Chain A
Amino acid sequence: MKKNLSLDILVVLCFIGFLAGCKPSTPSPEPVVDSKPDWYYTGGELGTTENLSSMTFRQPTPATEKAGLGTMFAQGDNIAEKDFVTNTSGRQHGLGPVYVRSSCQHCHPNYSHGTSVPEGKYNAKDQGNGTLLVVINPATQAYVPWLAGMPQLFGAAPFKAPLDPDQITVTWKQATDEHGNQFADGEKYELRYPEVKMPNTAVYVYNQGYRDPDGLLETQGYEVKLENTIGVYGSGLLDAIPDQDIIDQYAKEAADGKLKNGLNPAFWDGGFQTSGYYKNDPQWGPKRFTYALTRGPIMDAAGANAIWNITNVTRSDRTYHYLDLNGTIYAEYASKDPEVQEAFGTQEEIYNYLTSKELPAEMTDEEFTQVMVWHRGLAVPAARNVTDEKVLKGKELFTQIGCDYCHRPTWTTGADEVRDPNHFPVTASMPRYPNQKIWPYTDMVQHKLCMENDIRTGWCRTTPLWGRGLHKKATGDAYEARMHDTRARNVIEAIMWHGYSQQSDAYYPTQQFYKLNKEDRDAIVAFINAI
């Protein structure tokens, strides 16, 4: 009996062994600790992606997928990703006659900000460099009239590039702040800023004989700056912030008197200004996009404009070309160019083509709608390491030293009724983000940092910090490409640029940061990289 019992036990054990042996390595699932604070959902539950891979900025929001817009999003993504071509028909056709870049990805690699600009020849041909050349009259800070505000660097044969990128070079100069670029504990940092050289021979119309009334071309008295692109992701969420809440933010900042430079009078001068509204019309709300705060609702904001003016691909609401600021200088000189005439036609035909306001649409309404679904549907990455003690310490210090004054952590979206100043015939619902608590870390207001070789006019909208810690991972950039012209290679450099000038609106919090010990400084850096 004992033997039989043993055998039976052995048999049973063996069967158990057989069964278990099939899946012996199936452990109990590891314990899941779901301790996500509200700031983990940077874009709210409708606007946050938890895909934190290098593809993170390319992900659709949960709202996009819930609305059944996943395929349209993918189609819009595909249009944004691929190069436009100079063909006169077929897919992605219509590039040119002159253009800034040939795809969205050129300036927004993986839909992030542009990558850090290397020293040397200015490369706009390959994807990555998202900086635009800002060519201005230094006396007035106005764009020069003989180039487009976003100058084109390429021409579609037979047309020639308004600017020859091969003649443009970037040099990084060193700056030293009042601390000698060194913290009290000896840790050093570097501050660099770009210097752009562009000879007048790089300017097509100059080479063709044009001379500007101000004489800037002849004397090379113009100034050239770099202005990097801002990541595309999360734009739809910023679009959903209620107008009145933005105006209230201006009122709060005006009232407390903490800003050395006050507020830009074009937006607030004893009250919110009409010129602060998009198209000077309150129905479109306060301007909220671009460093210079030039754009309002996303349906007519930077992306909707760029898919036309960067490529010069026309569509039903943009049946004309984006040329120089004056509007006719390039057309006049291109039409006189014998090589263009030989390939295209008479001087009159060339001029009329370039300046026509009634060109056929090259991008269909359906395609543009797909692009806008994609644009409004790009998610923000969830915050990382939200339970890490160092990050939590940094979060506390971020507020304590006053970073949160301009980098306002959170907003709550409104009903998010999509507005389109162009009344474009949108054939599909856009992704919407009503009543979401979002964490962009911007006050949506312009301030001055008074840096060396500063941004044009000095006024710059506080750039959202969300997702920026993933820039290197998403783009392969060697640096973090922070600040408007990629001058800051990491968070420390970015912070210290904020206090470079005693006239900076952020001088005080920067000095507070300077006084922190290394552990606390590192904690703030960890927090900024986590959000």
Chain B
Amino acid sequence: MQKNVSLFILVFLGILGTLVGCKKAETPVTTDKEATLQQAVTPYVQNTVIATYSAMADAALVLLNQAEQILDKVEKSEDYTQLMKDADASWRLMRKHWEQSEAFLYGPAAAHTIDPHIDSWPLDFNAMNALLHNEEQMKQIEQEGGAYVGDKLGYALKGFHAAEYLLFESIEKDGRAVGTGKPHATNLTHAEAVYLLGIIEDLAQQAILLEYCWAGEVSATKMKILEDGEVDTYEDKYGWQMINAGKPGSTYLTYQEVAEEIVAGCVDIAGEVADLKMGNPYISSTPDERDYIESPYSCTSTEDFADNIRSIQHSYCGALAGDHSVSNYVYRQNPDLDAKVHKAIEDAIAAIEAIDDFENTAKGNPQVKAAIEKVSALEQVLDDEVLPLLSK
């Protein structure tokens, strides 16, 4: 009896194991590579890309409202201490979503030059100073707002970092503006407040444009901002193109091509985080090292880097539990490789989050070196093993 009970328990566990162990097998068993990869595309487009851009645009709308209020307070000479803190929080949230999108900088972000438009640095202080003292240009910004900023100003005078400079405190150190991560003092000149609002209007338009280009639609509120700003919407429905690979109107001939694009985007940002975002400040031997820090005024560097890796995680593994993803296909072809990628992602995030005070200690910091190695390892496994597997 004892033996029979044990046997039945084993039988039960075996059946249970078959059911539970099949978590990855929710994908219909098929050897058809295209069918398997196709299943990954809709969740990727909807839950990873569009969801991220939509959240970023939502944060931009809040920030836009706060920038309008700041200008109003400046004009009325009223206190806006809390408003500046709130705007900083909105900027950080918007920035978080942007960093979580950097594994998909291909497509509209590149083709419509939205990436350089909103995320160029260093800032051109020389040109900014000239702009703020140019009455004619400032009058045009006041009248046309984001449209003027978007159409007439160079990349180094707009976007996240121009807004960051006006929203966060910086102190003079060795002749340079060095950020503290604290809110900017409530001493903005009228010209600066006008300029800030113009930058954020333009930033919001570009964020909404990203969502629109992928989704082909946005909320009425967002659409009105695009229309009011006379923003060219291109109508390229990039998400549709990915989901409908091989159909007329799609840039992509196969789902393999889509999967390669997804992973290539991951490789690209991993390389940038390792070699440049962390690598340059780590090895910098010049007085310009501070210029290599991407978010020098908000001091959100390690958060940015970790979110970049999360962008890879959401792209490769899926953003929501149960999402089909490229990981499913890799797992089916080579489970060890898939596990290696998952571990490399987790290791990279952990190593980045272990860095203390990146902005002030990056040069020669062993914590930074360790993080660079982990992110490089992630880049390598994606580039040297996953991409070749997909292209076979």
- State the A residues within 8 Å of B (CB): 7, 10-11, 13-15, 17-30, 32, 50-55, 58, 70-71, 74-75, 78, 82-83, 85-92, 95, 102-103, 105, 109-110, 125-128, 156-158, 364, 472-473, 475-477
Give every chain B residue within 8 A of A15 (Cβ-Cβ): 10, 14
Closest 3 CB pairs of A and B: A476-B111, A14-B14, A18-B17
Interface-side segment among B69-77, B218-226, B275-283: B275-283
Query: Do B110 and A476 touch across chains, with their CB atoms under 8 A apart?
Result: yes
Give the contacts of B310-369 with A (CB-CB under 8 A): 328, 331-335
Query: Do A78 and B106 touch across chains, with their CB atoms under 8 A apart?
Result: no
21 sampled A-B residue pairs with Cβ under 8 A? A13-B14, A14-B17, A15-B10, A17-B15, A21-B17, A22-B17, A29-B333, A29-B334, A51-B267, A54-B107, A55-B264, A70-B275, A74-B272, A75-B275, A83-B116, A83-B124, A83-B155, A85-B123, A157-B127, A473-B251, A476-B111
Give every chain A residue within 8 A of B14 (Cβ-Cβ): 11, 13-15, 17-18
In whole angstroms, how far apart are the Cα atoms of A83 and B161 in the complex?
A: 13
Complex partner residue of B11 from A14, A90, A105, A473, CB under 8 angstroms: A14
Interface SS of chain B: helix
Query: Do B25 and A25 touch across chains, with their CB atoms under 8 A apart?
Result: yes
A380 to chain B, nearest CB (A): 16
Is residue B2 contacting chain A, with contact meaning CB distance below 8 A?
A: no
* Besides the known contacts A85-B123, A90-B122, A475-B110, 20 further A-B residue pairs in the complex with CB atoms under 8 A apart: A14-B10, A24-B18, A25-B331, A26-B332, A29-B333, A30-B31, A32-B392, A51-B383, A52-B391, A55-B106, A58-B268, A74-B275, A88-B126, A90-B176, A90-B290, A91-B122, A91-B292, A102-B156, A157-B127, A157-B130
A16 nearest CB neighbor, chain B only:
B14
With known contacts A18-B18, A50-B388, A74-B271, A25–B29 Cβ distance under 8 A: yes
Query: Do B264 and A85 touch across chains, with their CB atoms under 8 A apart?
Result: no
Query: Do A105 and B122 touch across chains, with their CB atoms under 8 A apart?
Result: no
In this complex, the member of A52, A54, A82, A157 whose beta carbon has the largest number of chain B beta carbons within 10 angstroms is A54
Query: Do A86 and B124 touch across chains, with their CB atoms under 8 A apart?
Result: yes
In whole angstroms, how far apart are the Cα atoms of A50 and B389 in the complex?
A: 12
In whole angstroms, how far apart are the Cα atoms of A109 and B113 in the complex?
A: 9
Query: Do B111 and A475 touch across chains, with their CB atoms under 8 A apart?
Result: yes
Complex partner residue of A54 from B4, B25, B110, B117, CB under 8 angstroms: B110
In whole angstroms, how far apart are the Cα atoms of A70 and B337 in the complex?
A: 24
In whole angstroms, how far apart are the Cα atoms of A329 and B333 in the complex?
A: 67
Complex partner residue of B335 from A23, A50, A472, A477, CB under 8 angstroms: A23
Give every chain A residue within 8 A of B22 (Cβ-Cβ): 21, 24-25
Query: Do B21 and A22 touch across chains, with their CB atoms under 8 A apart?
Result: yes
Is residue B286 contacting chain A, with contact meaning CB distance below 8 A?
A: yes
In whole angstroms, how far apart are the Cα atoms of A168 and B227 in the complex?
A: 26
Query: Do A476 and B107 touch across chains, with their CB atoms under 8 A apart?
Result: yes
Complex partner residue of A87 from B125, B260, B261, CB under 8 angstroms: B125
With known contacts A11-B11, A85-B156, A105-B116, A157–B126 Cβ distance under 8 A: yes
With known contacts A22-B21, A27-B31, A74-B275, A476–B10 Cβ distance under 8 A: no
With known contacts A87-B125, A127-B116, A71–B279 Cβ distance under 8 A: yes
With known contacts A74-B276, A92-B122, A53–B265 Cβ distance under 8 A: yes
With known contacts A18-B17, A25-B25, A90–B127 Cβ distance under 8 A: no
Is residue B188 contacting chain A, with contact meaning CB distance below 8 A?
A: no
A88 to chain B, nearest CB (A): 7
In whole angstroms, how far apart are the Cα atoms of A277 and B304 in the complex?
A: 51
Complex partner residue of B19 from A21, A30, A82, A127, CB under 8 angstroms: A21
Give every chain B residue within 8 A of A30 (Cβ-Cβ): 31, 33, 333, 392
A51 nearest CB neighbor, chain B only:
B264
Give every chain B residue within 8 A of A17 (Cβ-Cβ): 14-15, 17-18
In whole angstroms, how far apart are the Cα atoms of A476 and B213 in the complex?
A: 12
A88 nearest CB neighbor, chain B only:
B126
B52 to chain A, nearest CB (A): 18
* Chain B interface residue count, Cβ-Cβ cutoff 8 angstroms: 75
Is residue B13 contacting chain A, with contact meaning CB distance below 8 A?
A: yes
Query: Do B126 and A156 touch across chains, with their CB atoms under 8 A apart?
Result: yes
Give every chain A residue within 8 A of B392 (Cβ-Cβ): 29-30, 32
In whole angstroms, how far apart are the Cα atoms of A18 and B22 in the complex?
A: 9
Query: Do A21 and B21 touch across chains, with their CB atoms under 8 A apart?
Result: yes
B289 nearest CB neighbor, chain A only:
A91
A8 nearest CB neighbor, chain B only:
B7
In whole angstroms, how far apart are the Cα atoms of A14 and B7 in the complex?
A: 11
Give every chain A residue within 8 A of B334 (Cβ-Cβ): 29
Give every chain B residue within 8 A of A24 (Cβ-Cβ): 18, 21-22, 25, 29
B254 to chain A, nearest CB (A): 11
A214 to chain B, nearest CB (A): 34
In whole angstroms, how far apart are the Cα atoms of A441 and B176 in the complex?
A: 51
B244 to chain A, nearest CB (A): 16
Is residue B46 contacting chain A, with contact meaning CB distance below 8 A?
A: no
Is residue B230 contacting chain A, with contact meaning CB distance below 8 A?
A: no
Give every chain A residue within 8 A of B108 (Cβ-Cβ): 476
Give every chain B residue within 8 A of A25 (Cβ-Cβ): 22, 24-25, 27, 29, 328, 331-332
A28 nearest CB neighbor, chain B only:
B31
In whole angstroms, how far apart are the Cα atoms of A119 and B279 in the complex?
A: 42
Give every chain B residue within 8 A of A51 (Cβ-Cβ): 260, 264, 267, 383, 387
Query: Do A21 and B18 touch across chains, with their CB atoms under 8 A apart?
Result: yes
In whole angstroms, how far apart are the Cα atoms of A364 and B291 in the complex?
A: 15
B115 nearest CB neighbor, chain A only:
A127
A21 to chain B, nearest CB (A): 4
In whole angstroms, how far apart are the Cα atoms of A462 and B271 in the complex?
A: 35
A489 to chain B, nearest CB (A): 16
Give every chain A residue within 8 A of B7 (Cβ-Cβ): 7, 10-11
Give every chain A residue within 8 A of B11 (Cβ-Cβ): 7, 10-11, 14
In this complex, the member of B22, B112, B287 whose beta carbon has the largest number of chain A beta carbons within 10 angstroms is B22
B121 nearest CB neighbor, chain A only:
A82
Query: Do A127 and B113 touch across chains, with their CB atoms under 8 A apart?
Result: yes
A235 to chain B, nearest CB (A): 21
B12 nearest CB neighbor, chain A only:
A14
Query: Do B122 and A26 touch across chains, with their CB atoms under 8 A apart?
Result: no
Query: Do A27 and B260 touch across chains, with their CB atoms under 8 A apart?
Result: no
In whole angstroms, how far apart are the Cα atoms of A10 and B17 in the complex?
A: 14
In whole angstroms, how far apart are the Cα atoms of A90 and B178 in the complex?
A: 13
Query: Do B291 and A90 touch across chains, with their CB atoms under 8 A apart?
Result: yes
With known contacts A18-B13, A90-B291, A26–B331 Cβ distance under 8 A: yes
Query: Do B260 and A78 touch across chains, with their CB atoms under 8 A apart?
Result: no
Give every chain A residue within 8 A of B78 (Cβ-Cβ): none
Is residue B249 contacting chain A, with contact meaning CB distance below 8 A?
A: no
Complex partner residue of B127 from A11, A21, A85, CB under 8 angstroms: A85
Is residue B246 contacting chain A, with contact meaning CB distance below 8 A?
A: no
In whole angstroms, how far apart are the Cα atoms of A7 and B11 in the complex?
A: 9
Give every chain A residue within 8 A of B268 (Cβ-Cβ): 55, 58
In whole angstroms, how far apart are the Cα atoms of A109 and B112 in the complex?
A: 10
Give every chain A residue within 8 A of B27 (Cβ-Cβ): 25
Complex partner residue of A110 from B29, B110, B263, B391, CB under 8 angstroms: B110
A300 to chain B, nearest CB (A): 25
Give every chain A residue within 8 A of B15 (Cβ-Cβ): 14, 17
Is residue B233 contacting chain A, with contact meaning CB distance below 8 A?
A: no
A407 to chain B, nearest CB (A): 24
In this complex, the member of B29, B111, B156, B331 whose beta carbon has the largest number of chain A beta carbons within 10 angstroms is B111
In this complex, the member of B14, B117, B152 whose beta carbon has the largest number of chain A beta carbons within 10 angstroms is B14
B363 to chain A, nearest CB (A): 15
Query: Do B126 and A472 touch across chains, with their CB atoms under 8 A apart?
Result: no
A32 to chain B, nearest CB (A): 5
Give the contacts of B25-48 with A (CB-CB under 8 A): 25, 27, 29, 31, 33
Give every chain A residue within 8 A of B125 (Cβ-Cβ): 85, 87
B388 nearest CB neighbor, chain A only:
A50
Is residue B186 contacting chain A, with contact meaning CB distance below 8 A?
A: no
Give every chain B residue within 8 A of A23 (Cβ-Cβ): 21, 24, 335
Is residue B120 contacting chain A, with contact meaning CB distance below 8 A?
A: yes
Give every chain B residue within 8 A of A20 (Cβ-Cβ): 18
